[in-house]
């Protein structure tokens, strides 16, 4: 069998294995090929027998909402029965329901006045969709997210001369406890301060446990075609780092995460955006994630509160992040929060690439040209490897007629054919692997840049030139995909023609097949591939021309 064909099949086989492995991991399933053993939990932070008493998942209250004939919660009826308090800041437009004082709608409006298409709603509670951030108390008949709160009179809009806006809600007295919940919004920030004041009105001490959770259904959000981006809950702790769980894992009760920690956070992740509850560090927390109703899933934190004597109160303070996955800003909010922008197995390469892309953008203030310049920089770094590959392909192209003759002569004797081919390679000083290895080394870098461009919310609404007004959307006139197909066709012509006629036809058909997918890819991704192909063609033409001049000399 031809050695080069064997190498190509081996590369294809390994590519399929890697793709399947990462597909499994992205969907929260264990890797079928690599170890999934989690790091050992350190005993100096949490004692092995430590428990949080009275806070089993069974204690968490469910959502008490009317149901439709299909059995699904009728959130529309629930909304009509209770009041919503509307608020507005420079980055948010939302509603807080008096049911539980729950943040029931949260829309991101920063920059959307000039570009209405950028307006996105994260939290929402309608007849067809549920995504909420809610809190409450457990341990007895204490106020929780099902109780009706009273809004404390005050302003609900961030004024031009104010830096913060606070909105408070007061619960009824239940179990001898009254709760005052205060949301504090800060100008220009996607972090909301949430202060829960627990006041003991009874004549005996009380010891409640506070919970903070994110609840949503499995409704899909818009993602690029032919691309998978993770949607679902995640838990972070110093012991186990970032742990994603798919909705299907929660359905099967197969979720795996650190149950106890003195640090960390919980989140709901989707393409470009996320929300996360960030509790106080240094306080023992219990994490949980489960399915909590018809088509509803939740991830949350339970925090035990110390004994509250009669007539006294205590504050449970936490932060709620709800916004875009802007890596630099996430790093400053909480340890590990930047992992919400998940690059998967290529993180070690992708993070430096995004840093370079961001630095280039800082100079030219255009993400499209930043992509072009970064691709040019990467091609320059890999030029020696590319040159070696193109030189090897040029030599292979020269001896292709001789190789075809050998195959015709020994087509009935594969062993003699391979011996003759090896002698030809040796006499012409051609390495059949020479064109493959330099390209293989570069593949992880280009895959990483693909994920950088796919995951970066900075591309959303970012224009390039003329007709490209949003690099996160497909090319409206399909100019870039057509250029992509043309560049792939030219590359196929420059490479040696495969001796196998079927393989040759496949190589000519590939530009058409790939161009179909690229018609639906975001413009930023297609721009990257077009620039990369054009630079590769220029490099290959230059090197082959130099080889031709050297032969004439």
**CATH number for 103:** 2.70.98.90
Residue 351 domain-assigned (yes or no):
no
Q: What are phi and psi of 21, to 5 degrees?
A: -60, -45
Cβ(201)–Cβ(218) below 8 Å: no
DSSP, collapsed to helix, strand or coil, labels residue 85 as strand
Domain housing 23:
1-36
Backbone angles phi, psi at 197, to 5 degrees: -90, 120
377 & 329 share domain: no
DSSP bridge pairs for 476: none
> With 60 as the cut, is the pLDDT of residue 32 above it?
no
CB atoms within 10 A of CB 1: 9
CB atoms within 10 A of CB 271: 21
Torsion angles phi and psi, residue 329, rounded to 5 = -70, -35
Mean pLDDT of the chain: 77
Q: What is the mean pLDDT of residues 337-357?
A: 87
Q: 177 has which bridge partners?
A: 174, 200
Give dist(CA 377, CA 479) in Å, integer: 24
Q: How confident is the model at residue 41 (pLDDT cuts 50, 70, 90)?
A: very low
Give the residue from 158, 153, 151, 156 showing the smallest Cα distance to 101.
Answer: 151
Instruction: For residues 184 and 110, state if they share a domain.
Output: yes
Please tell me the predicted confidence (pLDDT) of residue 510. 67
Q: 377 and 228 in one domain?
A: no
291 and 221 both lie in a single domain: yes
Q: Is the pLDDT of residue 545 over 70?
A: yes
d(CA 527, CA 450): 11
Return the closest-CA partner of residue 99 out of 58, 135, 152, 72.
135
Tokens linked to 148: 């009706």
Whole-model pTM? 0.76
Residue 124 half-sphere exposure toward CB, CA atoms < 13 A: 12
Has residue 508 got a pLDDT over 90? Answer: no
Q: How confident is the model at residue 46 (pLDDT cuts 50, 70, 90)?
A: very low
Are 48 and 188 within one domain?
yes
Q: How many domains does the chain have?
A: 3
Percent of the chain with pLDDT over 70: 71
- Asked if the model's pLDDT at residue 45 lies above 70, the reply is no
Question: What are the residues whose beta carbons fall under 8 Å from the beta carbon of 215, sequence distance 6 or more?
Answer: 63, 130, 131, 132, 133, 134, 292, 296, 297, 298
- Does 2 score more than 60 pLDDT? no
At residue 55, the pLDDT reads 38
- Asked if the model's pLDDT at residue 42 lies above 50, the reply is no
**Residue 97 predicted with pLDDT over 90:** yes
Model confidence at 229, pLDDT cuts 50, 70, 90, reads: confident
Of 315, 342, 369, which residue is a domain's last?
342
Q: Are residues 416 and 513 in the same domain?
A: yes
| Banded pLDDT at 374 (limits 50, 70, 90) | very high
Task: Give the model's confidence band at 170: pLDDT under 50 very low, under 70 low, under 90 confident, else very high.
Answer: very high
Using the CB atoms, write b or e for 129-156: b if 16+ within 10 Å.
ebbbbbbbbbbeebbbbebbbebeeeee
Give the pLDDT score at 439: 65
CB contact at 8 A, 92 and 185: yes
Residue 374 DSSP code: H
Stretch 191-209: mean pLDDT, rounded? 93
pLDDT, tens digit, 9 for 90 and up, residues 129-142: 899 999 999 988 89
Q: Which range, of 180-189, 409-418, 483-492, averages the lowest pLDDT?
A: 409-418
Q: Does the residue 347 lie in any domain?
A: no
| Res. 82: pLDDT tops 80 | no
The answer to whether residue 350 sits within a structural domain is: no
19 and 137 in a single domain? The answer is no
Residue 51 has pLDDT above 50, yes or no: no
Does residue 217 carry a pLDDT above 60? Answer: yes
Question: Residue 402 — φ and ψ, nearest 5°?
Answer: -65, -40
Same domain, 2 and 146: no
- Let me know whether 30 and 136 are in one domain: no
What CA–CA distance (Å, rounded) separates 131 from 104?
A: 7
Tokens of 143: 């106020």
| pLDDT at residue 506, as a whole number | 64
User: CA distances (Å), 418 to each of 1, 331, 394, 423, 425, in order?
Assistant: 7, 56, 21, 9, 10
Is it the case that residue 196 has pLDDT exceeding 80?
Answer: yes
Q: What is the pLDDT of residue 346?
A: 82
Contact 66, 74 (CB under 8 A): yes
Q: Which of 104-108, 472-476, 524-528 has the lowest mean pLDDT?
A: 472-476
One domain, residues 331 and 241 = yes
pLDDT in tens, 422-433: 777 677 666 655
Instruction: State residue 76's pLDDT score.
Output: 41
Least confident range from 188-192, 422-426, 488-492, 517-521: namely 422-426
pLDDT in the model for residue 115 = 58
Q: What angle do CA 261, 263, 268 make, to 5 degrees?
A: 95
Residues 241 and 211 in one domain: yes
Model pLDDT for residues 375-390, shown as the tens digit of each residue = 899 888 877 776 666 6
- Regarding whether 159 and 270 lie in a shared domain, the answer is yes
Residues 6+ apart with CB under 8 A from 319: 191, 192, 193, 194, 277, 278, 333, 334
Name the range with the highest mean pLDDT among 248-257, 312-321, 386-395. 312-321
In DSSP terms, 316 is beta-bridged to 196
Cα 302 to Cα 401: distance, rounded to the nearest angstrom? 72
Lowest mean pLDDT among 159-173, 204-218, 404-418: 404-418
- R_g over Cα of the chain: 29
Is 315:411 a contact under the CB 8 Å cutoff? no
What pLDDT band is residue 313 in, cutting at 50, 70 and 90?
Answer: very high
Quick check: 486 pLDDT over 90? no
pLDDT in tens, 231-285: 889 999 988 888 888 888 888 887 778 888 899 999 999 888 999 999 998 888 8
Angstrom CA distances, 75 to 65, 78, 81, 97, 400, stand at 7, 5, 10, 12, 69
């Amino acid at each position: 069998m031809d050695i080069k064909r064997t190498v190509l099949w081996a590369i294809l086989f390994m590519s399929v294995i890697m793709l399947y492995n990462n597909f499994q991991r992205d969907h929260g399933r264990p890797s079928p090929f690599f170890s999934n053993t989690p790091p050992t939990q350190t005993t100096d932070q949490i004692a092995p027998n430590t428990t949080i008493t009275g806070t089993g998942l069974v204690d968490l209250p469910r959502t008490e909402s009317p149901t439709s004939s299909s059995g699904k919660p009728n959130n529309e009826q629930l909304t009509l029965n209770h009041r919503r308090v509307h608020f507005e800041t420079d980055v948010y437009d939302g509603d807080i329901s008096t049911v539980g004082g729950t943040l029931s709608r949260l829309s991101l409006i920063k920059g959307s006045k000039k570009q209405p298409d950028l307006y996105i709603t994260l939290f929402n509670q309608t007849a067809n969709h549920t995504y909420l951030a809610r809190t409450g108390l457990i341990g007895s008949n204490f106020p929780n997210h099902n109780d009706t709160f009273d809004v404390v009179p005050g302003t609900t809009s961030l004024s031009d001369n104010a830096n913060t806006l606070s909105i408070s809600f007061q619960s009824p007295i239940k179990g001898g406890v009254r709760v005052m919940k205060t949301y504090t919004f800060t100008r220009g920030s996607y972090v909301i301060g949430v202060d829960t004041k627990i006041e003991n009105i009874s004549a005996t001490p009380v010891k409640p446990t506070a919970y903070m959770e994110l609840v949503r259904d499995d409704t899909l959000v818009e993602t690029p075609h032919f691309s998978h981006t993770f949607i679902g809950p995640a838990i972070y702790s110093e012991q186990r780092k970032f742990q994603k769980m798919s909705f299907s894992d929660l359905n099967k009760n197969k979720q795996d995460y650190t149950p106890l920690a003195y640090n960390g956070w919980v989140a709901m992740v989707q393409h470009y955006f996320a929300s996360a509850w960030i509790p106080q560090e240094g306080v023992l927390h219990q994490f949980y994630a489960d399915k909590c109703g018809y088509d509803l899933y939740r991830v949350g934190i339970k925090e035990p509160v110390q004994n509250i004597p009669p007539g006294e109160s205590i504050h449970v303070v936490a932060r709620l992040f709800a916004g875009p996955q802007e890596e630099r800003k996430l790093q400053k909010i909480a340890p590990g929060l930047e992992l919400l922008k998940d690059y998967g197995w290529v993180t070690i390469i992708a993070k430096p690439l995004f840093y370079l892309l961001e630095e280039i953008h800082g100079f030219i203030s255009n993400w499209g040209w930043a992509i072009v310049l970064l691709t040019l920089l990467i091609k320059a770094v890999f030029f020696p490897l590319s040159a070696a590959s193109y030189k090897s392909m040029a030599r292979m192209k020269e001896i292709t007629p001789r190789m075809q003759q050998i195959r015709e002569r020994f087509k009935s004797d594969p062993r003699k054919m391979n011996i003759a081919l090896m002698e030809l390679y040796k006499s012409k000083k051609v390495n059949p692997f020479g064109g493959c290895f330099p390209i293989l080394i570069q593949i992880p870098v280009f895959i990483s840049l693909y994920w950088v461009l796919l995951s970066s919310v900075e591309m959303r609404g970012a224009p390039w030139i003329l007709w490209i007004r949003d690099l996160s959307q497909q090319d409206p006139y399909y100019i870039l995909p057509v250029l992509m197909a043309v560049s792939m066709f030219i590359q196929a012509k420059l490479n040696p023609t495969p001796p196998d006629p079927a393989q040759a036809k496949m190589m000519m058909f590939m530009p058409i097949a790939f161009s179909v997918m690229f018609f639906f890819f975001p413009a930023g991704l297609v721009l990257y591939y077009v620039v990369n192909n054009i630079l590769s063609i220029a490099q290959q033409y230059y090197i082959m021309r130099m080889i031709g001049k050297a032969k004439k000399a």
